[in-house]
């Protein structure tokens, strides 16, 4: 199977992140999330499909976002976003906060072979509280924020314990010498493996831990029928690793920080 830009862009646009503990405002044209305090950012636009003129549609989103109170709105410009969106955000003071790119890999022939790590890595899926807490702790080292409340971690573990055997995905944690060293998530929707949160603790970077976590997720995805793997990756950290392992870049998807006051 050859992945087309149209198919990958459509799969990327269909990927709307709505955590269970977020406050969601959704209309026919946009979705805004207010994230809980333990997340490193406050307010985010996760979908935008304007029906009318672009400038007025952007202003409508900003007006609604101001009601939440935070001074900044994070807004990702997707490969399939309306032409001119980046310019509209820049005209309103928006600046690129995070350089992401949309990457995809063909899994129709199975998971690609990846080089093994240079350290002894053991992998465990986060189906229990202790492993889920380890995953959350590693994520904080890479993405900032704080550990979620214990009840939230417990609920996440229970959700993975149910979803994993059903072929819907979960979070895998890598350990080196018994210490949590990396983690990453995968969810399978309509044959697409959405890879999220791939991160390695600073002390273990450069040892192939990311590849081990990636290999586990791709193997799981291929085993459960996914024919495409999709990642919205940091263009300077995970992006180069993914490209070396066979992923193709389908375009930048920068996150703009847009001032609301």
- Who has greater pLDDT, 51 or 143? 51
Query: Which sign, positive or negative, has the C-alpha torsion 174, 12, 143, 234?
Result: positive
Give the number of other CB atoms < 10 A from CB of residue 259: 12
d(Cα 73, Cα 65) in Å, to the nearest integer? 7
Q: Is 38 helix (H, G, I), strand (E, B) or coil?
A: coil
pLDDT score recorded for residue 16: 82
Q: How far is CA 103 from the centre of its chain?
A: 12
pLDDT score recorded for residue 145: 84
Three-state SS annotation for 152-204? HHHHHHHHHHHHCCCCCEEEEEEEECCEEEEEEEEEEECCEEEEEEEEECHHH
Position 80 pLDDT exceeds 80: yes
- In 3D, which of 61, 63, 42 has the Cα closest to residue 51? 61
d(Cα 137, Cα 43) in Å, to the nearest integer? 22
Query: Angle at Cα 108 formed by Cα 102 and Cα 110, nearest 5°?
Result: 100
Strand partners, 175: 122, 180
Structure tokens at 244: 């070396």
Confidence grade of residue 37 (pLDDT, cut at 50, 70, 90): confident
Which of the residue ranges 4-18, 28-42, 120-134, 161-175 would you say has the lowest mean pLDDT?
28-42
Contact 229, 169 (CB under 8 A): no
d(Cα 60, Cα 80) in Å, to the nearest integer? 20
pLDDT score recorded for residue 35: 83
pLDDT, average across residues 26-52: 87
pLDDT score recorded for residue 40: 61
Position 239 pLDDT exceeds 70: yes
Q: How far is CA 218 from the centre of its chain?
A: 15
Could you tell me the end-to-end alpha-carbon distance of the chain, in angstroms, rounded to an integer? 48
pLDDT score recorded for residue 38: 66
Position 79 pLDDT exceeds 70: yes
pLDDT in tens, 169-213: 999 999 999 999 999 999 999 999 999 989 999 999 999 999 999
- In 3D, which of 78, 98, 117 has the Cα closest to residue 245? 117
> Looking at residue 22, what DSSP letter applies?
S
pLDDT, average across residues 82-91: 97
pLDDT in tens, 99-126: 999 999 999 999 999 999 999 999 999 9
Three-state SS annotation for 63-107? HHHHCCCCCEEEEECCCCCCCCHHHHHHHCCCEEEECEEEEEEEC
pTM of the model: 0.89
Q: How far is CA 19 from the centre of its chain?
A: 11
Position 1 pLDDT exceeds 70: no
pLDDT in tens, 48-62: 999 999 999 999 999
pLDDT score recorded for residue 73: 96
d(Cα 247, Cα 111) in Å, to the nearest integer? 11
Position 20 pLDDT exceeds 80: no
Confidence grade of residue 18 (pLDDT, cut at 50, 70, 90): confident
pLDDT score recorded for residue 17: 78
d(Cα 114, Cα 208) in Å, to the nearest integer? 10
């Amino acid at each position: 199977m050859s992945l087309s830009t149209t198919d990958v862009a459509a799969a990327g646009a269909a990927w709307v992140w709505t955590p269970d503990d977020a406050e969601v405002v959704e209309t026919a044209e946009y979705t805004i999330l207010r994230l809980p305090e333990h997340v490193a950012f406050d307010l985010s636009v996760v979908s935008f499909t304007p029906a009318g003129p672009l400038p007025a549609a952007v202003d409508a989103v900003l007006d609604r976002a101001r009601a939440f109170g935070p001074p900044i709105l994070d807004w990702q410009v997707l490969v399939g976003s309306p032409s001119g969106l980046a310019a509209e955000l820049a005209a309103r003071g928006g600046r690129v906060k995070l350089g992401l790119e949309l990457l995809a890999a063909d899994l129709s022939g199975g998971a690609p072979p990846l080089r093994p790590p240079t350290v002894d890595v053991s992998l465990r899926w986060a189906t229990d509280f202790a492993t889920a807490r380890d995953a959350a702790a590693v994520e904080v080292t890479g993405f900032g924020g704080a550990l979620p409340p214990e009840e939230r971690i417990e609920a996440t573990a229970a959700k993975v314990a149910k979803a994993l055997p059903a072929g819907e995905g979960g979070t895998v944690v890598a350990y080196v010498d018994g210490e949590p060293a990396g983690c990453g998530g995968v969810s399978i929707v309509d044959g697409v493996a959405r890879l999220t949160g791939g991160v390695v603790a600073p002390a273990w970077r450069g040892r192939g831990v990311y590849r081990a976590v990636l290999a586990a997720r791709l193997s799981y995805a291929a085993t459960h029928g996914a024919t495409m793997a999709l990642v919205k990756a940091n263009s300077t950290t995970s992006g180069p690793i993914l490209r070396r392992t066979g992923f193709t870049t389908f375009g930048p998807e920068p996150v703009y920080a847009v001032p609301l006051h």
